[in-house]
Amino acid sequence: MSDARPPLRQRLAQQDEALRQASRWRQLRRWQPVSPTRALRDGAPLTLFCENDYLGLAGHRALREAAARALDADGVGARSAHLIAGHHPEHAALEEEVADWLGRERALLFGSGYLANLGILQGLLQPGDLCVQDRLNHACLLDGARLSGAELRRYPHGEPEGAARQLAARPAAPALLATDGVFSMDGDLAPLPELSALCRREQALLLVDDAHGAGVLGSEGRGSADHLGLRPAAFDLHMITLGKALGCYGALVAGDSTLIDSLLQRARSYLFATALPPAIAAAARAALRLVRGEEGAARRAQLAAMVERFRAGALNLGLPLERSQTAIQPLLLGGDARAVAAAEALATRGFGVVAIRPPTVPEGSARLRITFSAAHQPEQVDSLIEALGAVLGDLPE
């Protein structure tokens, strides 16, 4: 045995202890849903303000019935990857319907949003290319750029001028700019009209990760770009997830046929992964019908009303609100221990709110990430505001 080789377990133990000391140690809890807004956490009942089921569709009867029919007809697994024997008619129909919804020529179904972004960036970029990203982009966009071997350059959050500087730094390199549409930890929107104009000038592809905008914003829930007045032709690739507002699982990327065909040839997280169960695709199709119809519009209106009610009450109490107008409402508390203490105090009062700490967010910006659903009722929102006022008022600085 070599004396020179440092033990990996020893290093991990030291790093784990440092996480515990910094109030950054994470642990799994058991969450058992009992209604769209209620769950048992390790057996204790909580009203949830931490999920991403923005329209309250995850338990909707139409989704459950669609999944049950497909499960009975087709079984559980897809049996193989899409390009072998796993591309089921339910998958094809979902891709066609999503492309129609988003006004695109084609869409490609991935196992998750994380896998989609890894596949898009690894599949389209290569060493020597340039990938420009917002500093607060989701981790999967950053990981996808690193996996591709392209040079990753990041710009200050929400600043098109910063993005322009990064593109100008390498004017001869093929380039792709990637941004969240709605930022997952801040709830604000990317300046998509300005970024679209920049990418057209610089001949750079524009990828919008709309995980938290699709289903919630825009006409028929088409997402953040539609909400900001952009037509589909104004950006190249539109990634949406099925596991948030649509209440299912998986993700799709939509764009023109040329780009989607290129991904079909090159995206390793698509090529080498077993396809989603057909029953999940069937449920997603049912969700999409709801999102595009009158019920979807009513649920978006209810969600907006709950967000407005929360913001009015929180402002009245002087709570540390950010500028978000979406279903994601962060309350910045600064210190990690302070955020954890606030979340645990809320749990004792019957509310499920999660403390978000670095590295998920920048140093010094630990927060409570409060999220809303169309299933929430006014009295639940009012009770949360009252609890927040009491808990934050008692927290040490």
98: closest CA among 187, 192, 184, 210? 210
Surface-to-core class of residue 258, CB atoms within 10 Å of its CB (0-12 exposed, 13-18 middle, 19+ buried) = exposed
Q: Are 355 and 20 in contact (CB under 8 A)?
A: no
241 known member of a binding site: yes
Please provide residue 396's backbone torsions phi and psi, each rounded to the nearest 5 degrees: -70, 150
Check the annotation: does 360 bind a ligand: yes
The yes-or-no answer on residue 212 being catalytic is yes
The token duo for 376 is 């929430």
Q: Using CA atoms of 55, 58, 59, 60 in order, give the dihedral in degrees to the nearest 10.
A: 60
113 is in an annotated binding site: yes
Confirm whether 238 is a catalytic residue: no
Structure tokens at 284: 């997603």
Q: Rounded CA gap, 7 and 12, in Å?
A: 9
**Contact of 264 with 108, CB cutoff 8 Å:** yes
Give the C-alpha separation, 317 to 181, whole Å.
30
Between CA 391 and CA 386 the distance in angstroms is 9
Of these residues, 184, 269, 324, 365, which one is catalytic? 184
Choice among 244, 269, 373, 376 that is catalytic: 244
Distance from first CA to last CA of the chain, Å, rounded?
51
Q: What does the alpha-carbon distance between residue 94 and residue 281 come to, in Å, rounded to a whole number?
A: 6
Residue with tokens 């979340």: 343
The yes-or-no answer on residue 324 being catalytic is no
Let me know: does 239 contact 252? Beta carbons within 8 Å: yes
Structure tokens that stand for 182 in this block: 């709605």
Our measurement of the distance from residue 21's CA atom to the centroid of its chain's CA atoms, rounded to an integer in Å, reads 29
What are the DSSP calls for 245-302, one per residue? TTSS--EEEEE-HHHHHHHHHH-HHHHTSBPPPHHHHHHHHHHHHHHHSHHHHHHHHH
60 among annotated binding-site residues: no
Q: Which of 60, 82, 88, 212 is catalytic?
A: 212
196 annotated as belonging to a binding site for a ligand:
no
Residue 26 annotated as binding site? yes
Q: Which of the residues are catalytic?
A: 184, 212, 244
Residue stretches of the annotated binding site for substrate: 26, 138, 360
